[in-house]
Structure 1
Amino acid sequence: MIRVWGRNNSVNVQKVMWTIAELGLAHERLDVGGAFGGIDQAYRERNPHGLIPVIDDEGTVVWESNAIVRYLSARWGQGTLWHADPAMRAQADQWMDWQQTTVQPLITPVFWGLIRTPPEQRDEAAIATATARLGQIFAMLDRHLENRPFIAGDTLSMGDIPLGALTYRYLNLPIERPDLPNLQRWYARLTDRAAFRKHVMIPLT
């Protein structure tokens, strides 16, 4: 059984739980982080950085959400989430890295500013700047999805999971967005999946 440490309203935990659900893996999730606390010495022995999530798969401990998604896909998702073809797998990999290096730093100030910060304490200028830039980068993803149903081809792969989790947040934040028809069609395919609905489509808190 896989054990997961992390609270369910963390987007990084949602990536991992969505992956586990897609693969049908037996698991147990423990609430850790944020209001739950639990980042103690025992936790840091698993993840010295003290961040969530971390997993223990029968003695294999992995931290960093995208690394966990890759690990689970490689170990348990051969031929489904994990493409056998290295070229197709590289497509998934590059968009996973893009999510981490480009999308995450921009969506974080918008999400935290609008969802987790009282109105009187918000940095409206920073939120507006990041929102405008998010529109530009999600337009890049929209163009990528013009002729393909999923991030790395015709079927769901590990590449869809990090971006899918953040796209849910992007589309449900109270902000203005450009018209993104290809992204909306891809997102509709994700919402058809029970694992996505259960682990990602929860209220933003």
Structure 2
Amino acid sequence: MLKIWGRRNSINVMKVLWVCDELSLPYERIDAGMQFGVVNTPEYAALNPNRRVPTIEDDGFVLAESNTIVRYLAARHGREDLLPSDVRQRARIEQWMDWASFSLAIGMTPLFWQLVRTPEDKRDPKLIAANAAEAERCMRILDEQLADKAYLAGPGFTLADVPAAAFVHRWLKLPIEHPSLPRLEDYYRRMLERPAYREHVALELS
């Protein structure tokens, strides 16, 4: 059975769990990271030298990095609807996955940590304001990209949506001012129609 190391409230673990459910894959999840420890043990470092989550083991094959993991799982199980074999279609999907995990994360990750995982008396208002502005800039890009299509890579749900939609939930739930972005809000509602998204991503922020 597929093994997944990582805590449920890690955004990168959420992506893997979400895709596993989209693929109807059974798995065993092992708590790891933050309060659970594990990641700094020699045994875990042998699996993932970066000592981060998630890490998976699939029939003896060990893999880290969430975007790589979900691409591997979709390809291994022949889900061309999620990750086509056509090189150009696949590149378009990977473009949005990488954009979300780098450009969108630049503002969202420190903003989330400041507002959710940092005690109020230790927060940095200037850092919050700067990262809120950067996160909003990226959310406006998403809103524009959804002007003529229901999902980031076209008319159907693909892996392109997984990293971005995970951040969209967090952004909409953060205690900040949100501009009116109707297309992004419609996109979020479409994601909420997916049981696996509700189960693994649309959670209380923690």
Counterpart CA distance in 1 for 2:19 and 2:119 is: 33
Counterpart CA distance in 1 for 2:205 and 2:112 is: 9
Structure 1 residues 31-180: aligned runs within 5 Å: 31-39=31-39, 40-180=41-181
Once the 2 structures are TM-superposed, how far is the Cα of residue 85 of structure 1 from its aligned partner? 2.8
Counterpart CA distance in 1 for 2:179 and 2:76 is: 38
Deviations 1:157-205 (A, max 9, x none): 1111111111110110001122111111111111000000000111111
**How high is the TM-score relative to the length of structure 2?**
0.96
Counterpart CA distance in 1 for 2:44 and 2:188 is: 35
Once the 2 structures are TM-superposed, how far is the Cα of residue 77 of structure 1 from its aligned partner? 4.2
Q: How many residue pairs end up in the alignment? A: 205
SS in 2 for 1:178: coil
Counterpart CA distance in 2 for 1:85 and 1:188 is: 29
2:185 corresponds in structure 1 to 184
Once the 2 structures are TM-superposed, how far is the Cα of residue 65 of structure 1 from its aligned partner? 0.8
Counterpart CA distance in 2 for 1:26 and 1:119 is: 39
1:13 corresponds in structure 2 to 13
**How high is the TM-score relative to the length of structure 1?**
0.97
Contact 1:78–1:84, Cα closer than 8 Å, also in 2: no
SS in 1 for 2:68: helix
Counterpart CA distance in 2 for 1:195 and 1:59 is: 26
SS in 2 for 1:146: coil
Deviations 1:108-131 (A, max 9, x none): 111111111111100011101110
Deviations 1:33-69 (A, max 9, x none): 1101112111111101100000001111110111111
Counterpart CA distance in 2 for 1:43 and 1:84 is: 32
Between the aligned residues of both structures, percent identity stands at 42
1:111–1:77 Cα change, 3 Å? farther
Higher deviation after alignment, 146-155 or 69-78: 69-78
Higher deviation after alignment, 175-184 or 84-93: 84-93
Superposed CA RMSD? 1.0
1:77–1:19 Cα change, 3 Å? farther
Q: Which runs of 5+ in 2 are unaligned?
A: none
Counterpart CA distance in 1 for 2:4 and 2:49 is: 16
Contact 1:16–1:68, Cα closer than 8 Å, also in 2: yes
Q: Extract structure 1 runs of 4+ deviating beyond 3 A.
A: none
Contact 1:89–1:152, Cα closer than 8 Å, also in 2: no
